[in-house]
A and B are shown apart, each in its own frame.
Chain A
């Protein structure tokens, strides 16, 4: 195995120093024989960890596969992703989660940690065999019906209680289903004008409030997926002030884009939960800055061209995120002075790894730790070209936009998955 000497990297944005990667670990001592990587001007972060990725395999290999999705992850600086359970078949058994986990291991671009479904077939009726998935080779710790909300309060309570047995967490897609039937975009003045059915903030906030109360009541870990409204931030802040075991994530697109984009009727901007108002964006940034929101998660949601090249109402929800996440966080948080690079490392690596109970990920950049690192150049900028993405799909909302930063290298346990900005 090749050793790498990374020269002059600004570790977490600090003073430049050299870092040696040897035998899969961050090492000290002699660097003789190591391949030198010039990291002058580059920021070194621990390999990023995504709590919310849709890899689509099995079932929708026309949109993404574990291989293409993890290549996109590596290009984005990720060394681990949590693969959401809404595949076909649904990842609601030990068999399916082990299959996804094995595919990830074979692809080798990053660790693939399957998320298990909370309910059988995501149907919201009865619990899937959560324990079997936890005990499987995939060692599932995060459970989610993402795409659907576990809206039945009794079922949600039981799921929260049940996963305590193996230190699991329920990641809730907070969407009250009756309030969002056929919902198409953020409910606001614009939805009324455009004649698109509204997705009101209250449909998210009411579920989050209920779940926070349930988590407190039964003393279980709750993770709230893709918080998108100012009100949700307030509720999570309140729950945390009580000391309740609640964590929350925000997606890059909710930190940057607003519902005004729906006026184009271009479904590239159709996502669930929807793009919200500028006020919401501001509250999300503030919440991420002050730690109310614990992590950035991509909700990377690949879709084939034909599912987006149609009427808004007929189009699929979701947008790509892995390959642009760090750039969006730079522009919305770092360049805006809201977060330093150590803060980025915490919210995109350390904390998501802790929530997901991933032992070898999100570790400090210290001698003896696994060599999961990313080198990032914040000084360059690029115009996003959808055709150049590693993902199998092209549904990025940022096409044609100029974004700052570029992932120069990603190392997974000392082995480069990306070097010189190219996949290895």
Chain B
């Protein structure tokens, strides 16, 4: 493993499989009465959030605490309009606190990269979602969830449907799933596929109905209603009709196909309630798996001196 996890592209196949295997070990912990391991005792993990995301922050916080790390939550104000708190000053502060790992969520693409490489801090940096760039731990937990249901991802077909253009989840998944041998198809109206997507080494399609019967995994992405104001699509109704998944479309899936969503969902827009709540849906499980995967990432990045599971915390 590299020192930082900034992009899913930082992970070789061996790295990714090690994270998934470690997460599998750690997940067994979730079923035990005592959920804490001493692996990162004395280490400090900072959750640095320049953008609100309670779900992601809680997931990382739980992961770090279960490994006995000290956790500091740090929310910084600011946006692309008001620069606000400087990333550099914040990094220097964290460095002074002796942070071993910084989990960073930021509205600007590349902010974690800058934090890792600008020479401001020595800690490991974990990208917890940056702008419209990447969200590698989300991709890892998605891959983890897929392997638990489908086994090896080699040759498996994953359809990622929705606002790919603005989605960091789609970018990280396209990279990671390809590394793991899966065949990814990005499905969206042409306006919501990134310029130059032909070079990504994945399939693309504008036709959801053609993709559904072949998919082993159907991953729905959130689509913000506001996108229609910028002419990405004409109306919510038309979007749902062409790219939303409802019971009728779900019926065309293979029996083993699972339905995923990174959340937060907009029921009725990209996914209907009966699909979200169906037996195929692994959306709730994704959340549980998120903690195990983030434990594995923190453990491996910080090179925990003891085995990940070396006995319960006494």
Q: Cα distance A266–B88 when bound, in Å?
A: 13
Given contacts A194-B133, A264-B117, contact A313 B108 (CB under 8 A): yes
Given contacts A192-B194, A195-B131, A195-B132, contact A312 B199 (CB under 8 A): no
Question: Is the C-beta of A265 less than 8 angstroms from some C-beta in chain B?
Answer: yes
- By a CB distance below 8 angstroms, the chain B residues around A313 are 80, 107-110, 131
- By a CB distance below 8 angstroms, the chain A residues around B200 are 189, 192-193
Question: Is the C-beta of A40 less than 8 angstroms from some C-beta in chain B?
Answer: no
Q: Are the C-beta atoms of B199 and A189 separated by less than 8 Å?
A: yes
Q: Which residue of B lies closest to A182 (CB)?
A: B80
Q: Are the C-beta atoms of B87 and A196 separated by less than 8 Å?
A: no
Q: Which of B107, B168, B196 contacts A189 (CB under 8 A)?
A: B196
Q: Are the C-beta atoms of A312 and B195 separated by less than 8 Å?
A: no
Q: Which of A195, A197, A264, A312 contacts B168 (CB under 8 A)?
A: A195
Give the number of residues in B that approach A within 8 Å (Cβ atoms).
Answer: 29
- By a CB distance below 8 angstroms, the chain B residues around A195 are 109-110, 130-134, 168, 171
- By a CB distance below 8 angstroms, the chain A residues around B171 are 193, 195
Q: Which of A188, A196, A264, A266 contacts B196 (CB under 8 A)?
A: A188
Q: Are the C-beta atoms of B110 and A187 separated by less than 8 Å?
A: no
Question: Is the C-beta of A314 less than 8 angstroms from some C-beta in chain B?
Answer: yes
Question: Is the C-beta of A58 less than 8 angstroms from some C-beta in chain B?
Answer: no
- By a CB distance below 8 angstroms, the chain B residues around A198 are 195
Question: Is the C-beta of A385 less than 8 angstroms from some C-beta in chain B?
Answer: no
Interface residues of A in 242-287 (CB under 8 A from B): 264-266
Question: Is the C-beta of A311 less than 8 angstroms from some C-beta in chain B?
Answer: yes
Q: Which of A189, A266, A312 contacts B109 (CB under 8 A)?
A: A312
Q: Which residue of B lies closest to A181 (CB)?
A: B230
Q: Are the C-beta atoms of B110 and A196 separated by less than 8 Å?
A: yes
Q: Which of A182, A198, A306, A312 has the most CB of B within 10 A?
A: A312
Question: Is the C-beta of A123 less than 8 angstroms from some C-beta in chain B?
Answer: no
B134 to chain A, nearest CB (A): 7
Given contacts A193-B200, A310-B88, A311-B87, contact A187 B195 (CB under 8 A): yes
Given contacts A192-B197, A195-B134, contact A314 B113 (CB under 8 A): no
Q: Are the C-beta atoms of B134 and A311 separated by less than 8 Å?
A: no
Q: Cα distance A54–B238 when bound, in Å?
A: 49
Question: Is the C-beta of A190 less than 8 angstroms from some C-beta in chain B?
Answer: yes
Interface size class of A (residues with CB under 8 A): 20 to 34
Mask, A197-217, CB within 8 Å of B = 1, is 110100000000000000000
Q: Cα distance A310–B199 when bound, in Å?
A: 29
Q: Cα distance A195–B134 when bound, in Å?
A: 8
Question: Is the C-beta of A93 less than 8 angstroms from some C-beta in chain B?
Answer: no
Mask, B253-288, CB within 8 Å of A = 1, is 000000000000000000000000000000000000
Question: Is the C-beta of A298 less than 8 angstroms from some C-beta in chain B?
Answer: no
Given contacts A195-B168, A310-B88, A313-B80, contact A265 B110 (CB under 8 A): yes
Q: Cα distance A311–B104 when bound, in Å?
A: 13
Q: Which of B108, B134, B198 contacts A312 (CB under 8 A)?
A: B108
- By a CB distance below 8 angstroms, the chain B residues around A167 are none
Q: Which of A190, A196, A265 has the most CB of B within 10 A?
A: A265
Q: Which residue of A lies closest to B130 (CB)?
A: A195
Q: Cα distance A187–B165 when bound, in Å?
A: 13
Question: Is the C-beta of B83 less than 8 angstroms from some C-beta in chain A?
Answer: yes
Mask, A8-27, CB within 8 Å of B = 1, is 00000000000000000000
A196 to chain B, nearest CB (A): 5
Q: Cα distance A192–B198 when bound, in Å?
A: 11
Q: Which of B83, B113, B195 contacts A188 (CB under 8 A)?
A: B195
- By a CB distance below 8 angstroms, the chain B residues around A193 are 171, 194, 196, 200
What are 12 inter-chain pairs, A to B, with CB distance below 8 A? Answer: A189-B199, A193-B171, A194-B110, A194-B133, A195-B109, A196-B131, A266-B118, A310-B86, A311-B106, A311-B114, A313-B108, A314-B80
- Nearest 3 CB-CB pairs, A to B? A265-B110, A195-B133, A189-B196
Residues of B with Cβ closer than 8 Å to A?
80, 83, 86-88, 106-111, 113-114, 117-118, 130-134, 168, 171, 194-200
